[in-house]
Amino acid sequence: MPLKPVLTKDFAMENLEQLAVYERAGGYTGFKKALEMQPDQLVEMVKASGLRGRGGAGFPTGNKWSFLPKGVYPRYLVCNADESEPGTFKDRYLIEKSPHQVLEGILIGSYAIGCNLAFIYIRGEYLPQHEALETAIDEARQAGYLGKNVLGKGYDIDIILHRGAGAYICGEETALLTSLEGYRGEPRLKPPFPAIKGLYGKPTVVNNVETVANLPHIVNNGAQWFKAIGTPTGAGTRVWCMSGHVNRPGNYEVENGTPIRELIEEHGGGVWKNRKLKAFQPGGASMMVLLPEHLDVGLDFDAIAKAGSLAGAGGMMVMDETTCMVDAARRFVKFFHHESCGKCTPCREGTFWMANLFDRFEGGEAREADIDLLLEIGYNIDGRSFCPLGDASTWFPRSVIKFFRDEFLEHVSEKGCPFKKPAVEAVA
Amino acid sequence: MAAVQTEQVNLTINGQSVTVPKGTLILDAAKAIGIDIPIFCSHPKMAPVAVCRMCLVEVEKMPKLQPACAVYVAEGMAVRTMTDQVNKYQKGVLEFLLINHPLDCPICDKGGECPLQDQTYQYGPGASRYDFEKAHFDKAVPLSDKIVLDRERCILCWRCTRFSEEISGERELALIQRGVHTIIGTFNDEPATSNYQGNWTEICPVGALTSRQYRFISRPWDLDRTASVCPGCSMGCNIQIDARHNKIGRFQSRENVAVDDSWLCDRGRFSFPNFQRKDQERPMIRRNGAVEEVSFDEAIAFTADALKQAGGQVAGWASPADTNEEMFLFRRLFREVLKSPHLDHREGSVPDTDPDDMTLPIADIERLDHAIVLGGQDVIDAAPVLHLRLFKSQRKGVNVLKVAAGDGKQALDIVPAEALAVGVLATEANKKAAMDLQDKLQQKVKGSVRRLIVTTGPNGRGAKDLGILPHFAPGYASLNGQPGKGRVDWPGAALKALYVHESSPLNAFSPSDAESMWLPKLPLLVFHRFKPSPVDAMAHVIIPGHAFTEKTGTVTNMEGRPQRILDAIDAAWIREDWRVFMAIANKLGADWRYDSVSDITADLVGALPAYAALNHGERVRWGERS
C-alpha cells in the first residue's frame, strides 16, 4: 500500500523550512481560517476530528483543551518537543523539515484555548532543530503571524522557545513545566492537573509536536476528512520512527491501522541481512515487547494495547534473531536507571537494583531466582512510583521475561551471554 | 478572611466509618480513628509531596494504590490500609529504602527514635534480597558548625529541603544530582547559616542530619526527659530537656501550636551548654578580705544580719530568667520585710511597661491583614522563632512589613484604611515608636491595631507582671506615690546593699561602667547565682543557686502566657532559691510557711487572680484594656 501522508506530504519540497516555500505549499492557510472561527468552534472541531495526542498516552486532544477552567487567564499552551524516548525521532524530523507546520499548529491551538503566550520546550540535544525553530519564529514574527494583533484580527500571540538541559524526565508534562519554570526537572503531584494549575500555576495545555502539526490540516480539510483517515478510535496518520535491524530505518508516516507487517516489511524493507524477526517494540524503549505473531496487528493505539503493548511515542524498534533479549532489556533498564529523577523511592532504588541484576545476568553470575526477583521488583515499582517513568521502566524487562524466560535461564546455565556480542556497544 | 470550611465528608477506612471535614487527607482521616498509616516524607506542617511512597493504600474504584498523604477524602470513599496488596508493597518500599541505607543503627544517634528503624520493624521484610554493593556517599559531612550530614543514611524524604523552603523560607538546603545519586546539600557546599538548622535534625526520619553537640552523646532510651521552656528568649518555646547521668544532652522541641508551632531556633536549642553545672559549690562569705566556705545556714544568717544593718537602703535585682514564684517571694522580701522599693530586673532603662504590650498573641499574627515588624531584623534577633511565624503568616497572605524603627511612617502609608486586623511588633527598646505607630494606625484604619512587645529573657514578662520594677506593684498597680529607684539610678542612690539573684548565664547581671565603679564601694553585695561570674570578685556573700534548668516553677512569655518549667537536672546539694528567700525573710521576722513551689504558685494566683490562666494553659489577661 502506498503511503498517504498528511504531515509529511510536502517534505520532498526543497527549502520547505523557509516561510515562503511553506506558504507556497499552502502554509498558514489553516491559521488564517482558524482566526475566522470562534475558539470554541475550533475546540469542537478538534474534538470531532478524533485527534489523539501523539506524545504517548493518546489522550483526545480536544478533550484535553476543554478541561481548561472557564475565565481563568492567562493560560498557556506548551508544545512538548523534548523527544527523548529511545527509539523515537519523529518530532525532530517534523521540526527540521517543516518548522512552520509546527508553529502553525501551535498558533491554532493557542487561539483555540485563548492563549496569548505559547512555549516550545525542545530537547537540549536538538540544536539544529532549535535553530530551525528560532529562524522560523523570527520569520513568522516578521510576516505578522506572531506578535500583537496578528493578521489584523485582534489576537495577540507570541512563542517562547526554551531548550531543555538533557533530562529524559522533562518529557513528562509536569516535569517539563517544572523545568520550564526554572526548577529541578521533577514531576509534580497530580491533581491539580496542568489544565487547572500548570505553568506558573495557570491553566496549561501540553501538546506534542506531532499533535499540533496535525492541526493545520484538520482546520483546512475539516474534522470529518480527518476522522475518515485511520481507524474509528485512531483517526489520522502517525509518523513511525523505525530503527534496529531493518533494511531501511527511518521515519514513515502511515495511516493508523496499517498492519505492522506492512511498516516493517514493505516500507522498512524487512529485517536486514536476510535474518528472521525475533521481536519488536512498537512504542519506544518503555513499551512491552511484541513477537512475529503480532505482525498483523494494526498500527493504532487501541489495537497495539490489545496485543499487550503500547503505541507510545511511535518508536518501532526491530530486533532480529541474533538479538540477546536479556541484553536488550539490560540496555533499557540502564537507561531508566540513569534517567530516574530520584524523586520517589520505587523508581530511584528499583531501577538501580534492576540494573545491577541485569548486569549480573550478562556477567554470568545470575541465579535462577534472580528472574523472579526481577519480576518482584517490577511489581513493586509499577503503579507505585510517582510518575510513569518508574512504571515504564519495568514494562519492557517484564515482558521480555514473559516471552523469553528461556534466554534468562540460558544466561544462568551458561554463566554468561549465549549470544555473540556486537563489536561496539551502543551508549545509552 | 476565608470562611471556615465546615462541609463534612463520610468515608470508610478498613470498613470503619469516619466523618471528617472536606479537605482532609486520607492519612489524617485514618489517624482520627486510630489507624496508623506509615509515612516518611509527609509532615503535618508541610505541603504533601508523596515522594517516599510508604503510605500507599487501596482506594476503591482507583486502579492504582494511592498515597494517603496526598489524596483528599471524598464522599463515599472506601479506603483499605491493611490488605495483602498494601502489606506486600510496604515490605517492598522498605526493602527499596534499605538497599542503599547503611543499616548502621548500632552507632547511629537516631537509633531508638528512628522512624525508618521503627517502621522497618513494624512493616518491613525480615531480610533483604539485595546482595550487591550498596551505593556509597559521603559520610559525616559538616553542613555547618551545628549539623553533620550522613548522605548514606539519607532516604531523600525532602523534609529538610521543604523546611528550608516552606517553613524558614531560606532555601538553604537543596537536592543535588538525580536518581540514585541524589544528595542533599547547600549551594557550592558553603556552610549553612540558618538559625533554624536544629529543626532539620528533628524532622529527619533517619540519622542523616544530626546535631554536632549531641553526636554520640547518648542513646535515646538512656535519656531522662523533662518538659520545660526554652531559656533563650521571651518567646517561650516549649522544650524537652533530654539529660543523661544528670547532664543535659540536648534540647528538643515540644510542640505548642500557640507559641512555637513545634519549632526552635538554634540560639535557644544549642544554648544548653550554658546550663551545664561544673562543680559542687558551697556558699562563700568574704570576711576581712578573705573568702571562706560556709554552710547554707551560715550564709543565710550572715545575709539576713547584713541586710538588717542596711535598713531600707537595699536594692534587689532578679534576673528575667527567674521563675514567677521566685520573683513573687523576692518582691515580698523587699517590699514587706526589708521595706525597700528599689527593685528591678532590667539591664538598663527601658520605657514603662503595661499590659497593652501583649494584646497581640503570637498565634494571632497569622490572622492579621498587616503585620508591621518595627525594627525589622532586630525583632527577629530578639525572638528568632517569630520569623517562622511571620513567614508562615506571609504564606497565608498576611502582609508582613519589616520597617526600620524610625520608618513607622512608611508602614502607616502602606496599610490601607480598610484594614481589619493590624499588628505592630517591636522590641522593648522601640516601644515608644511602636505605641506612636499604633495610635496613628488606629486613627486611620477601620479595624483593630494590636501590639506585641518582645521582652527580655524567658521571664521578663513575669518580672513586669509581678512588679520587679521600681514603679509598679504586681499587676501593673500603682505604688501610690512611693516609687523606688531603678537599676540605672542605683549607683548614685546612697544604697547600702544590693541583692542580685541570677538564674541563667544568658540573662546575667553584667555591671555597667557606672556599676563597676560603684559596686566595689558598696558595703554589701549579695550574689545569689547559678554560675560563677566576674561579679563574684566584688560580692561579700556568694550563695549558689539553681539554674533555669534545675528548678520548678512558672515563667511568662512575651505574650503573657505563663508556662511551667520542671527541674531536669538534680542539684539537690544546693538549697532551692525560694527556700533561701524564705529563710532570710523568716530570720528578719517574717513567718512564711511554704512547703513547696506549688504552695507559692497558689499564693501567687491568690494575690494576682489573672494568673489563674496558668492552670488552663492560657494567657494572662489584665482586664482586657485595649
Cβ of A352 and B135 within 8 Å? yes
Nearest CA in chain A to B49: A189
Instruction: Please report which confidence band the pLDDT of residue A1 belongs to, taking 50, 70 and 90 as the band edges.
Output: low
What gap in Å lies between CA B322 and CA B555, rounded to an integer? Answer: 8
How many residues belong to chain A? 428
Cβ distance A348 to B70 less than 8 Å, yes or no, reads: no
* Yes or no, beta carbons of A385 and B53 under 8 Å apart: yes
pLDDT tens digits, A225-243: 999 999 999 999 999 999 9
Mutate to test the interface with B, among A197, A352, A379 (most CBs of B within 10 A): A352
Q: How confident is the model at residue B478 (pLDDT cuts 50, 70, 90)?
A: confident
CB contact A376 to B (< 8 Å): yes
Tell me how close the Cα of B598 comes to any Cα of chain A, in angstroms: 52
CA distance A261 to chain B (A): 34
**Distance between B2 CA and the closest CA of chain A, angstroms:** 20
Place B288 in a pLDDT band, splitting at 50, 70 and 90. Answer: confident
Task: Read off the pLDDT of residues A284-331 as tens digits, 9 standing for 90 and up.
Answer: 999 999 999 999 999 999 999 999 999 999 999 999 999 999 999 999
pLDDT, tens digit (0-9, with 9 covering 90-100), for B160-178: 999 999 999 999 999 999 9
Instruction: Say how far apart CA B144 and CA A229 lie, in whole Å.
Output: 65
Q: With an 8 Å Cβ cutoff, are A380 and B96 in contact?
A: yes
B183 → chain A, closest CA residue = A342
A74: preceding bond cis by omega (within 30 degrees): yes
Task: Provide, as residue numbers in chain A, all residues whose Cβ is less than 8 Å from the Cβ of B130.
Answer: 353
Mean pLDDT of B256-278: 96
- pLDDT tops 50 at residue B220: yes
Residue-wise DSSP of A245-305: SBSS-EEEEEETT-BHHIIIIIIS-SBGGGPPEEEEESSSTTSPPB-GGGTTSBSSHHHHH
- What pLDDT was estimated at residue A425? 53
Closest residue in chain A to residue B88, using alpha carbons only: A380
Distance from CA of A280 to the nearest CA of B (A): 28
Give yes or no for a contact between A346 and A396, defined as CB atoms under 8 angstroms apart.
no
Gap from B56 CA to chain A (nearest CA, Å): 8
Single-letter residue type at A209: V
A10 lies within 8 A of chain B by CB: no
Beta-carbon separation of A189 and B49 below 8 A: yes
A389: closest CA of chain B, how far (Å): 12
B132–A353 CB contact, under 8 Å: yes
| pLDDT score of A428 more than 50 | no
Q: Cβ–Cβ contacts within 10 Å for residue B412, how many?
A: 17
A345 and B49 in contact by Cβ < 8 A? Answer: no
Average pLDDT, stretch A49-55? 96
Min Cα–Cα distance to chain A from B99, Å: 7
How far is it, in rounded angstroms, from Cα A240 to Cα A262?
12
Task: Give per-residue pLDDT as tens, B13-53.
Answer: 999 999 999 999 999 999 999 999 999 999 999 999 999 99
pLDDT of residue B201: 98
- Tens-digit pLDDT profile for residues A159-207: 999 999 999 999 999 999 999 999 999 999 999 999 999 999 999 999 9
CA A383 to CA B92: how far, in whole Å? 13
Do B178 and A337 count as a contact with CB atoms less than 8 A apart? no
pLDDT at B5 over 70: no
CB B267 within 8 A of CB B145: no
Q: Are A49 and A226 in contact (CB under 8 A)?
A: yes
What pLDDT digit, counting tens, does each position of B368-393 carry?
A: 999 999 999 999 999 999 999 999 99
C-alpha separations of B243 from A395, B204, B220, B569 in Å = 53, 21, 10, 7
Mean pLDDT along residues B220-247:
97
Chain B CA closest to residue A369: B129
Tell me which of B477 and B449 has the higher pLDDT.
B449
pTM of this structure: 0.94
Q: Which of B178, B183, B187, B206 to mutate to test the interface with A (most CBs of A within 10 A)?
A: B178
User: Does A342 sit within 8 Å of B156, measured CB to CB?
Assistant: yes
**Angle (deg, nearest 10), helices A209-221 and A90-97:** 60
